A = this chain, B = another copy of it.
């Protein structure tokens, strides 16, 4: 298909698609002439993936670049591919290089994970995210206590167990990655949205007037 068709069907402008081509997010089409190239369904799918990660997941182009580069590199095994992608998802917590308080928060996170018996890589970015949040909570005068965290931990475990049940290891590489990205990037947004809605409902019932 032509680039204009790709543009129409993906909802991105031709200019944006060209930009993604330059950045290596989208592989080139097969050239049919000096000023002509042919794109296929894989390009369209790729663009839809990029769009979802950008617009819903709010991932920076650089992170998406890393993910698709790993995807396109056939030498990378499935396990490593998923690991790379997960790492690229970030979050990209700026290492504030805060001293003692930061180290204490990191330590809290490590103990928590150990206590829960979770098997998590030592450099998982989510560790930093959690530590950063603990730090902020403390700075605002909200100490972190385990009983406070309990419902969140339970929710995370329940949801992950459910998600893991849906994983299967005999799907094509691309599909496996897509499934992982969808559960961690898109369904996380679903969870956030539902949380906010449920929160509004709960406050309405708590303080609100009659239905």
A106 to chain B, nearest CB (A): 13
0 or 1 for each of A114-138: is its CB under 8 Å from B? (1 = yes): 0000111100111101101100110
- Residue among A152, A167, A188 with max Cβ neighbours from chain B (10 Å): A152
Which A residues between 142 and 161 are near B, CB-CB below 8 angstroms?
A: 142, 149, 151-161
Q: Among B49, B79, B132, B155, point to the contact of A159 (Cβ < 8 A).
A: B155
Whether A18 is near chain B, meaning CB under 8 Å from some CB there, is no
Question: Roughly how many angstroms separate A206 CA and B157 CA in the complex, as a whole number?
Answer: 14
Q: Which of the 9-residue segments A19-27, A29-37, A67-75, A197-205 touches chain B?
A: A197-205
- Residue among A48, A120, A136, A183 with max Cβ neighbours from chain B (10 Å): A136
Chain A interface residue count, CB cutoff 8 Å, equals 77
Residues of B within 8 Å of A152, CB to CB, are 159, 187, 190-191, 194
Whether A193 is near chain B, meaning CB under 8 Å from some CB there, is yes
Question: Roughly how many angstroms separate A72 CA and B37 CA in the complex, as a whole number?
Answer: 58
Question: Roughly how many angstroms separate A119 CA and B42 CA in the complex, as a whole number?
Answer: 42
A49 and chain B: residue at smallest CB distance: B140
Which A residues between 181 and 196 are near B, CB-CB below 8 angstroms?
A: 182-184, 186-196
> Is the Cβ of B124 less than 8 Å from the Cβ of A203?
no
Question: Roughly how many angstroms separate A113 CA and B136 CA in the complex, as a whole number?
Answer: 32
A150 to chain B, nearest CB (A): 9
Whether A163 is near chain B, meaning CB under 8 Å from some CB there, is yes
Question: Roughly how many angstroms separate A203 CA and B180 CA in the complex, as a whole number?
Answer: 10
Question: Roughly how many angstroms separate A64 CA and B163 CA in the complex, as a whole number?
Answer: 35
Residues of B within 8 Å of A56, CB to CB, are 132-133, 136
Whether A208 is near chain B, meaning CB under 8 Å from some CB there, is yes
Beyond known contacts A118-B197, A152-B159, A156-B198: 9 more, CB 8 A cutoff: A48-B140, A52-B140, A55-B136, A130-B190, A140-B186, A154-B158, A155-B195, A188-B195, A191-B191
